[in-house]
Chain A
Amino acid sequence: MSEFDQDTSPEALRIAVLSWLDTYWDSDNRHPLNEPAYDRRRWRQQVLEAGLAVPSWPPEWFGLGMTAAQCKVIEKAFAERNAPGTGLDRYHLGAITVFKAGSDALKREMLPELLTGPICCLLYSEPNAGSDLAGIRTRAEQEGDKYVINGQKVWTSNAHEADYGMLLARTDWDAPKHRGITFFLFPMRQAGVEIRPINQITGESEFNEIFIENALVPERFMIGNLNEGWGSFQTAIAYERLIMGQGITGRRRVSATRGRPPLLELAEKNDRLNDPVVRQRLAQALAYREVNSLNNERAMTQMMTQGSMSLMSLSKLAMSRIQHGEAAIATDLLGPKALLDGPDNSDAANTNFDAAKAYMNSIGGGTDQIQRNIIAEKVLGLPKEHEPDKGIAFREVKSGTGSGTTG
């Protein structure tokens, strides 16, 4: 039985969590107490056993049955003590997907492992299945109690570190495209998995292409039912978009309401703060950022009180406007200096980086245009556009830039 009571007051919960942390965690040295080295897995295990890794999940599934508000209290207490390991029910996409969509057997077998160590990467997009993600062509064919996987995935981050991949693969080529997809927990460390880094326009290589040739996944690692993977995937992608909208992907995170914003500093440094046109643009840019955080606050409240996700869907779209807009202003503030780059020209380098990185939000996890479709259809209830591939056996569907079909 856990020492953290669901019925306790927020203040009592905070004190209980802090006292738990003070027993086991050295907040000054960011290190478990009485342990020679920081063993990530062992600490995670300890947090998990206390129910604090996934506090919103029910007690029979590693959690404490806490409300969103109570989880926030717990997260704040962890932050106060510089301790990692909580909030996995909000951030660990792999574990969340298994928890929401997996069978009891899979959850019993894999959740304790996923929640204490392994990193999960996402094997969703393919070269010919980007915005039209349900058009995936990676195939999974049953052979005894295993599935054999063949195909190519792209835009996978953390692939080298990952032990598992959340894999979408086609299992029925005669069903319409959404109804022949199965979701698997795919072991990454095996022959037949080749990882090639992608050189991104920012100069970074966070993402990879994954070539999968005759790799195997046990049947019991299927998440949800055969050919019903698209539904489970919707849960996973909603979390990913939510996390992106909170701006977690941005390199510099600055509080939206306190302190002097970097854009203002840049304007001052370049002696442009007295230009009224520049001032108007700066004000509008700062406003978009502040309003987005106000929207997010309302979205959290709305989700907690009414269970509604409608406002949540806006933040990713808003973030694109913020990031592209700020980069455009910064570029103008620098003037001709914006053509420079490199460590000797850090303002220009940062600005150029931000200008390129903004596409990460406006394309990654679903382009702004796809996001607008989602808002219009799922939130505003506007009808879907005509879909030529609807109801047609997937092997007959046209794909990519060519007109040919495969199967």
Chain B
Amino acid sequence: MNTIQESERTAIREALVRFLRAEAGEDKLRLGMKSERGYDHRLWQQMADMGLLGIALSETYGGIGGSTLDAAMVAEELGRSLLPVPFIETCVIVPSLLESSDVAEKMRAVFSSIVQGTATIAIGGSATLAPYRDSTCALRIDDNGAISGEVSLVMHGAHADYLLLVIDSDSQPRCFLVSAGMEYAAEEQTANDPALRPATIRLNCAPGIELTGLNKDDLEHARLQGVATLSALQAGAARAIFEITIDYLKTRYQFGRPIGSFQALKHIAADLFLEVESAASAAHAAANALASADPLAARSVALAGFICNDAFRDVSAQAIQLHGGIAYTQEHVAHLYWRRARATLSMLGDSDTHRETYLSAWETAA
């Protein structure tokens, strides 16, 4: 891991920024929101062409072999743009689990379709490492490994090519990879964020490949990578809406002066700046801790988990308030950031849970 040099990372980021600016500006984003997947799927293909989808996958399986820092960098820029692609699921959590399982060798076709952008993989289930875990999902696995039942809140589930099920069981979660075929029926759920496409998936004796050989550490590592990349995404999004807001404070005039000259608003802006930078620092520290196998990585990730959750929520909420009436309209972009913030709050554990994890880690500190 960690074979990407700092200079290459900068080059990748610059290319990604150019790409997102050209292809995922607000107009195109809004067009994408009305489409089937919630985003223009050609962009996913283009991200594959840029080599971004294999960024966290090891070279052994055809990826770039980057670290969590590299995945976090991509997520941060995706967060800025609000492009709702299934990057964290397909390109971070799934590869991590598949690679550390015993069946990795048999998954070469799956890895290759991830890297080439020909498949997206959704994740669903009751385990905490499931994005938007469905704690009440009812799934049965028969003796032949066929899976039946229903799971909701599966992001991108109706358009995914595979579904990774992570199901709580006695000692540790079991993971199964299911192909979206005949035995797989998806029904989209209505989301508050108009770009998101959660779905309920009904399985009827769907054949699943169990990811055997995963121990608790493997599962935890995949979850931590997911939280760290999500944190980076939130940090990027928070900064984007913050910059939009500061710009508005400079250009909107009332009482014959820019509203940003009023201390009542200035002080909120300064406080939000602290939140934005703190989110960036926490997200970077978490990704860095994972990339360098820091023994305190779990604590760093928990910290980023709630700092970035709360920062994105608060910054996007205040953005609406600071804009005033204009941001109470759908035409303005602020509500899209705000909705996304609210949607990501519980994606991989809520802030209270992360805080509890963080404190427990301190309690055991030497």
Tell me the A residues contacting B by CB distance below 8 Å: 257-261, 264, 273, 276, 279-280, 282-284, 286-287, 290-292, 294-295, 297-298, 311, 314, 317-318, 369, 371-373, 375-377, 379-386
Instruction: Find the B residue at minimum CB distance from A292.
Output: B278
B261 CB within 8 Å of chain A = yes
8 Å CB contact of A376 from B260, B352, B355, B365 = B260
Minimum CB–CB distance for B7 against chain A, Å: 13
Tell me the B residues contacting A by CB distance below 8 Å: 246, 249-250, 257-258, 260-263, 266-267, 269-271, 273-274, 277-278, 280-282, 284-285, 296, 303, 306-307, 352, 355-356, 358-359, 362-363, 365-366
8 Å CB contact of B355 from A261, A279, A292, A311 = A279
Minimum CB–CB distance for A244 against chain B, Å: 15
Residue contact B273 to A375, C-beta cutoff 8 Å = yes
Residue contact A287 to B363, C-beta cutoff 8 Å = no
The count of A-to-B residue pairs whose CB atoms sit within 8 angstroms is 113
Which of chain B's residues have a CB closer than 8 A to the CB of A261? 362
> What is the CA–CA distance of A259 and B364 in the complex, to the nearest angstrom?
9
12 A–B contacts from the bound complex (CB under 8 Å): A260-B362, A260-B363, A260-B365, A283-B356, A287-B306, A295-B277, A295-B281, A298-B280, A372-B263, A375-B269, A376-B266, A380-B246
Instruction: Find the B residue at minimum CB distance from A297.
Output: B281
8 Å CB contact of A291 from B249, B303, B359 = B303
* A385 with B261, Cβ < 8 A, contacts A259-B366, A283-B359, A287-B307 known: yes
Which of chain A's residues have a CB closer than 8 A to the CB of B358? 283, 286-287
Residue contact B267 to A386, C-beta cutoff 8 Å = no
> What is the CA–CA distance of A379 and B246 in the complex, to the nearest angstrom?
11
Which of chain A's residues have a CB closer than 8 A to the CB of B273? 314, 375, 379-380
> What is the CA–CA distance of A293 and B266 in the complex, to the nearest angstrom?
25
Residue contact B359 to A286, C-beta cutoff 8 Å = yes
> What is the CA–CA distance of A282 and B278 in the complex, to the nearest angstrom?
18
Q: Is the interface of A mostly helix, strand, loop or mixed?
A: helix
Residue contact A291 to B266, C-beta cutoff 8 Å = no
8 Å CB contact of B271 from A258, A372, A385 = A372
Minimum CB–CB distance for A290 against chain B, Å: 6
Which of chain B's residues have a CB closer than 8 A to the CB of A295? 277-278, 281
Residue contact B362 to A286, C-beta cutoff 8 Å = yes
Residue contact B282 to A294, C-beta cutoff 8 Å = yes
* A382 with B278, Cβ < 8 A, contacts A258-B365, A260-B362, A287-B307 known: no
8 Å CB contact of A382 from B261, B303, B306, B362 = B261
Residue contact B249 to A382, C-beta cutoff 8 Å = yes
8 Å CB contact of B270 from A279, A311, A317 = A317
Which of chain A's residues have a CB closer than 8 A to the CB of B356? 276, 279-280, 283
> What is the CA–CA distance of A384 and B284 in the complex, to the nearest angstrom?
33
Residue contact B363 to A382, C-beta cutoff 8 Å = no
Which of chain B's residues have a CB closer than 8 A to the CB of A284? 355
* A291 with B307, Cβ < 8 A, contacts A377-B266, A381-B250 known: yes
Which of chain B's residues have a CB closer than 8 A to the CB of A287? 303, 306-307, 355, 358
Which of chain A's residues have a CB closer than 8 A to the CB of B284? 294, 298
> What is the CA–CA distance of A124 and B354 in the complex, to the nearest angstrom?
45
> What is the CA–CA distance of A381 and B242 in the complex, to the nearest angstrom?
13
Minimum CB–CB distance for A307 against chain B, Å: 17
Which of chain B's residues have a CB closer than 8 A to the CB of A311? 277
Minimum CB–CB distance for B246 against chain A, Å: 5
Residue contact B266 to A317, C-beta cutoff 8 Å = no
Which of chain B's residues have a CB closer than 8 A to the CB of A298? 277, 280-281, 284
> What is the CA–CA distance of A382 and B250 in the complex, to the nearest angstrom?
6
> What is the CA–CA distance of A314 and B257 in the complex, to the nearest angstrom?
26
Residue contact A382 to B260, C-beta cutoff 8 Å = yes
Instruction: Find the B residue at minimum CB distance from A285.
Output: B359
Residue contact A291 to B282, C-beta cutoff 8 Å = yes
> What is the CA–CA distance of A147 and B363 in the complex, to the nearest angstrom?
61
Other A-B contacts than A259-B365, A291-B278, 5 sampled, CB-CB below 8 A, are A294-B281, A295-B277, A298-B281, A371-B270, A376-B267
> What is the CA–CA distance of A297 and B358 in the complex, to the nearest angstrom?
21
Which of chain B's residues have a CB closer than 8 A to the CB of A286? 358-359, 362
> What is the CA–CA distance of A282 and B266 in the complex, to the nearest angstrom?
29
Instruction: Find the B residue at minimum CB distance from A371.
Output: B270
Minimum CB–CB distance for B43 against chain A, Å: 31
Instruction: Find the B residue at minimum CB distance from A293.
Output: B281
8 Å CB contact of A369 from B246, B267, B362 = B267
Which of chain A's residues have a CB closer than 8 A to the CB of B306? 283, 287
Instruction: Find the B residue at minimum CB distance from A290.
Output: B303
> What is the CA–CA distance of A279 and B356 in the complex, to the nearest angstrom?
7
Residue contact B278 to A372, C-beta cutoff 8 Å = no
Most chain B Cβ neighbours within 10 Å, of A261, A276, A298, A380: A380
Chain A to chain B: the 3 pairs with minimum beta-carbon distance, closest first: A283-B355, A372-B270, A376-B266
Instruction: Find the A residue at minimum CB distance from B267.
Output: A372
Minimum CB–CB distance for A74 against chain B, Å: 25
Instruction: Find the A residue at minimum CB distance from B243.
Output: A380
Residue contact A318 to B303, C-beta cutoff 8 Å = no
> What is the CA–CA distance of A381 and B355 in the complex, to the nearest angstrom?
34
Which of chain B's residues have a CB closer than 8 A to the CB of A276? 356
Minimum CB–CB distance for B60 against chain A, Å: 33
8 Å CB contact of A385 from B263, B282, B296 = B263
Residue contact A373 to B355, C-beta cutoff 8 Å = no
Minimum CB–CB distance for A84 against chain B, Å: 30
Most chain A Cβ neighbours within 10 Å, of B267, B273, B296, B358: B273
> What is the CA–CA distance of A372 and B355 in the complex, to the nearest angstrom?
28
Instruction: Find the A residue at minimum CB distance from B281.
Output: A294
Residue contact A380 to B362, C-beta cutoff 8 Å = no
> What is the CA–CA distance of A257 and B274 in the complex, to the nearest angstrom?
20
> What is the CA–CA distance of A382 and B268 in the complex, to the nearest angstrom?
12
Residue contact B277 to A372, C-beta cutoff 8 Å = no
Which of chain B's residues have a CB closer than 8 A to the CB of A385? 261-263, 266
Residue contact B359 to A282, C-beta cutoff 8 Å = yes
> What is the CA–CA distance of A405 and B246 in the complex, to the nearest angstrom?
38
Minimum CB–CB distance for B119 against chain A, Å: 37
Which of chain B's residues have a CB closer than 8 A to the CB of A282? 359
Minimum CB–CB distance for A50 against chain B, Å: 35
